[in-house]
Amino acid sequence: MSGRTGKPGMSPEEKSALLASLRGSAAPPRRKSAAPARPGGEYAHLTDFTSLPNYQRLQMQHGVSEMLQVANPFFQAHDGCPADTSSMDGVELINFASYNYLGLNGHPEVVEAAAKAMALYGTSASASRVVGGDRPIHHELEAELADFYGAEDALVFVSGYSTNVATICELMGPKDLILHDALMHNSAIMGAEYSGAARRAFAHNDPDALEDILLQCRGDYQRVLILIEGLYSMDGDIPDLARFTQIKQRHDAWLMVDEAHGLGVLGRTGRGLAEHCGLDPTLVDIWMGTMSKTLAGCGGFIAGQGALIDLLKYNASGFVYSVGLAPPLAAASLAALRILLREPERVARLQENGALFLKLANEAGLDTGSSAGMAVVPVIVGDSMRAVKLVERLRMRGFCALPILYPAVPEKTARLRFFISSTHSPEQLAAAVAATAEELKALEEAGFGVSSALSAMS
């Protein structure tokens, strides 16, 4: 796996500038742009995309990787359908980088359902459903998702990200308050910001911290929305739903649960956080989920009261002004949902595999944080470059797992994130843990990391 991008190596001047910038004494080095010089006035230099701070930060990261000879782990191509194994550059790897939790992506029934929908409806909805019309497959999927969550109705969106943004923006405004878990997904946080409502974070998975805020300021706002996840995608831990529902009832607030990673993973039959916690799902006002994980498709959905769905159907910008979900994707997700309901043993195998991986990782001395071992298990490394190097070493040993780095997580909690599936074998899980522990120990003993490597090069 090459980390090169076809660019020439760093010049001595660029290397010196990079070292200085990492010590905070200079701007990061700028690569020469292939674009011609832009004539103009006083602000012409600001029309150069390379002047953007985020671009300069990205170039700094690339420069550090190049100096440390660490390959870029991102945007690597899979040769086929990723499952418990995946072929990359013609080499089969044991795969821990996909959300294919129940092995339904590529399932013959799912593929057949998508193919039939494609033959009947084509590849696209071709317009917004508001003006271009629905397809029966949309209604079938929405009805079965609503039933899955014990809700009155549901609505599917073309994107999981826009599901959160559009829904939160439609419901909340300047006179309202949004309280979200500190580790809430970016899509929900962006929705909160765009809504114009006041926004405050509370400590991760801490109902008491949430209630403290409400006791201080509930009376200052009209509506209050509480945002939590069913299964947190970075840490793999689970909230105490009973506590959150009690708090939202005491303070007359709405509770919205993002079930992107919980659907098909939590609960005896995979019905998510409410089943896992033994609660009536109607205690939650808004269920949000995606079809891109367990349901082997794409897009997102909201399930809840009929009035909520009617409101979103006619007003939510991410639905009204966006093309409808492609019929083949709707059909694929509906088929996957039906298999999930028919074969709960897939959920049981997934939970067994997650528990085994967590147990083995802890016995090997790996830091798995607060993971519940359901499907998402981080291995916290601490140093971003060490995490990336660990990915490279694991790939050389036949494993595919990807890093999560700053700013997605704080620098000191850089990690590899292992997605477990029902199709992994115990032998695959044990081999992955053993290899990870061995390679991480070797990197730690060598002192490999950003600060130590750059010190040696300066």
- Of the candidates 145, 112, 146, the one whose C-alpha atom is nearest the C-alpha of residue 338 is 145
* pLDDT in the model for residue 36: 56
Q: How far apart are CA 355 and CA 458, in angstroms?
A: 45
Residue 35, pLDDT > 60, answer: no
3-state secondary structure of 457: helix
pTM: 0.89
Contacts with 197 (C-beta within 8 Å, 6 or more apart), sequence order: 172, 173, 174, 175, 176, 177, 178, 225
Q: How far apart are CA 290 and CA 298, in angstroms?
A: 7
Phi-psi region of 24 (alpha: psi -120 to 50; beta: other; left: phi over 0): left
CATH numbers and ranges of domains, the chain: 12-67 (no CATH), 85-98+344-457 (3.90.1150.10), 108-342 (3.40.640.10)
Please give the average per-residue pLDDT across 53-65, as a whole number: 81
Average pLDDT, rounded, for the chain: 90
Residue 259, pLDDT > 60, answer: yes
Residue 8, pLDDT > 50, answer: no
Q: For 193-205, write each residue's pLDDT tens digit.
A: 999 999 999 999 9
Q: pLDDT higher for 410 or 314?
A: 314
Place of tokens 């997700």: 333
Q: What is the DSSP letter of 254?
A: E
Q: For 203-252, write each residue's pLDDT tens digit.
A: 999 999 999 999 999 999 999 999 999 999 999 999 999 999 999 999 99
Lowest mean pLDDT among 85-99, 173-187, 199-213, 285-299: 85-99
Residue 13, pLDDT > 70, answer: no
Instruction: Please identify every residue annotated as catalytic.
Output: 233, 261, 293
Percentage of the chain lying above the pLDDT 70 cut: 89
Residue 1, pLDDT > 60, answer: no
Q: For 365-392, write each residue's pLDDT tens digit.
A: 999 999 999 999 999 998 888 999 999 9
Q: How far apart are CA 71 and CA 90, in angstroms?
A: 18
* pLDDT in the model for residue 272: 98
* pLDDT in the model for residue 189: 97
Confidence of residue 52 (pLDDT cuts 50, 70, 90): very high
* pLDDT in the model for residue 79: 86
Confidence of residue 12 (pLDDT cuts 50, 70, 90): low
Please give the average per-residue pLDDT across 303-326, as a whole number: 97
Question: Please, are residues 239 and 249 in contact by the beta-carbon 8 Å criterion?
Answer: no
Q: How far apart are CA 205 and CA 415, in angstroms?
A: 20
Two structure tokens written together for 10: 């760093």
